């Protein structure tokens, strides 16, 4: 995994998502050193959701996974005080107990902000990507979808066994079939238009995850889409370097929770 240079200069804003830490399918540990190395030189680092996976955690309980998740965030954030971090929630880490814990942690970490649904920085927007799950997704529908995850519990031994079989069969490699690029880009564009962040607002770049399908500079309807994939067997993964314009005179905005 490498990091591209933009206009001969190292970009100052990075985006990573879908680490699915603490689940069996995750290979995030192999990239943790790279994530910390990027944070040391970044001005802004966006964690784009599903960083942790409470549904498929192998740690035994939600409470244990919450503690491990906040500890992981603390190691990253506290060691890099000159970097501004943003945590944009995904569906797999949209657990109420984690939301409570990460919001409490943000109160003592001046360089970390939490966002339920998206972060807008000038001409760029960062979101998890589950807005692409429905052809007419809007803010209300996405909020409703997320409600199902709030009290989600870690799955039991039988479901973990079935999950392991699916991972061994590499069913997650069907991401490109389930989430074709054009369909995903069209759905995200429609969603962004409905929440007031369409191309007519000066938006140029869309950074997202969720689909686990890597996407580098895919263009549609005047927008350019970027997805870093996921660190899982057989899938591409990278830490995405954002365009410099995303950090110039940008104001962070986020949809408030329902």
Q: What is the pLDDT of residues 83-106, one digit of tens each?
A: 999 999 999 999 999 999 999 999
- What pLDDT score does 19 carry? 98
What is the total residue count of the chain? 258
pTM of the model: 0.86
Instruction: Using alpha carbons only, give the angle 71, 72, 78 rounded to the nearest 5 degrees.
Output: 80
Q: Which helix (H) or strand (E) holds 73?
A: helix 62-78
Q: Are strands 13-16 and 205-208 parallel, antiparallel or unpaired?
A: unpaired
- What pLDDT score does 178 carry? 63
Q: What is the pLDDT of residues 198-255, one digit of tens each?
A: 999 999 999 999 999 999 999 999 999 999 999 998 899 999 999 864 443 333 444 4
List, in order of start, the domains of the chain with CATH numbers.
13-247 (3.60.21)
Q: What is the pLDDT of residues 37-89, one digit of tens each?
A: 999 999 999 999 999 999 989 998 999 999 999 999 999 999 999 999 999 99
Rounded Cα distance, 89 and 226, in Å: 17
């Amino acid at each position: 995994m490498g990091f591209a240079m933009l206009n001969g200069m190292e970009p100052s804003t990075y985006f990573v998502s879908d680490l699915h830490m603490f689940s069996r399918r995750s290979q995030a540990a192999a990239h943790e050193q790279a994530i910390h190395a990027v944070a040391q030189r970044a001005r802004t680092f966006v964690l784009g959701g599903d960083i942790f996976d409470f549904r498929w955690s192998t740690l035994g309980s939600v409470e244990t996974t919450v503690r491990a998740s906040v500890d992981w965030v603390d190691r990253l954030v506290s060691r890099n005080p000159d970097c501004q971090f943003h945590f944009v929630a995904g569906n797999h880490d949209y657990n109420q107990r984690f939301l409570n814990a990460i919001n409490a942690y943000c109160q003592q970490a001046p360089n970390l902000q939490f966002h339920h649904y998206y972060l807008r920085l000038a001409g760029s927007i960062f979101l998890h990507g589950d807005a692409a799950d429905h052809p007419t997704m809007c803010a209300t529908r996405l909020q409703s979808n997320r409600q199902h995850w709030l009290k989600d519990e870690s799955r039991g031994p039988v479901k973990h066994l079935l999950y392991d079989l699916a991972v061994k069969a590499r069913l997650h490699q069907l991401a490109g079939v389930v989430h074709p690029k054009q369909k995903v880009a069209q759905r995200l564009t429609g969603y962004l238009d409905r929440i007031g962040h369409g191309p007519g607002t000066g938006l140029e770049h869309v950074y997202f995850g969720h689909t686990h399908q890597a996407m580098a500079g895919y263009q549609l309807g005047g927008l350019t889409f970027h997805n870093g994939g996921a660190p899982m067997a057989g899938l591409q993964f990278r830490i995405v370097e954002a365009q410099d314009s995303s950090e110039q005179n940008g104001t962070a905005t986020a949809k408030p929770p329902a």
